[in-house]
Amino acid sequence: MGEEAGEELRSRVQLRSCASLIRQQQEARRRRWARERAGGTGPGMAAGGAKKEDSSEALDLKNQSWWRKLFGPSSGSSAEKYNVTTQLVIGGVTGWCTGFIFQKVGKLAATAVGGGFFLLQVANHTGYIKVNWKLVEQDVNKAKEQLKFHGSGSKLTPEAKSRIDEVITFLKKNVILTGGFAGGFLLGMSS
């Protein structure tokens, strides 16, 4: 019991020190802002009205008040912001919606392709159209050869590799959300 109390006390001290550090940084920003306004220059402007060279403060969006209001204090991955139950619910609901839409669109596409093929066969059989099957066979063989040629040496472009890396990083950071989405997707496809 004594060790747990000691750990809790240490974590409280660390939280207080972090909070005081944040308050000190905010106060320093306020003072700097007030000095710039009193000197007749706007934020990010030097005394002569020229732009400052230091642009690191402008790029630090997470410390801007509007950013915190819009995205909350922690705008990292969902694993940092939400508990496990919330992540599973969000992933499951979005997955179910996506799966349900995929199911409906898939049925519609299959019906359209199958119905079109059926109508073409009926039209061919009744004599409305004539299909040159030898020409169709030649075209199919050409397409097969092109697929074999392009499929044998498929190298990913750097853009595709970077996108794949981004997706993998997202999936690793949001495993619970991704699992909920996959489960919801399967349920949506089956409903």
Position 81 scores a pLDDT of 73
Position 188 scores a pLDDT of 92
* pLDDT value at 179 more than 50: yes
For residues 156 and 42, the model is more confident at 156
pLDDT tens, residue by residue, 96-151: 999 999 999 999 999 999 999 999 889 988 989 888 889 999 999 999 988 887 66
Position 51 scores a pLDDT of 47
pTM summary value: 0.46
* Pair 77, 166: CB distance under 8 Å: no
pLDDT cut 70: percent of the chain above it:
64
Torsional sign, CA 86, 77, 55, 26: positive
Closest CA to 179 of 94, 102, 77: 94
**Strand, helix or coil for residue 51:** strand
* pLDDT value at 61 more than 70: no
Name the token pair of 67: 């950013």
CA–CA gap between residue 184 and residue 176 (Å, rounded): 12
Number of alpha helices (DSSP H) and beta strands (DSSP E) in the chain: 8, 0
Position 79 scores a pLDDT of 60
* pLDDT value at 13 more than 90: no
Alpha-helix residue ranges (DSSP H) falling in 60-83: 65-71, 78-81
Band (pLDDT 50/70/90 cuts) for residue 69 is low
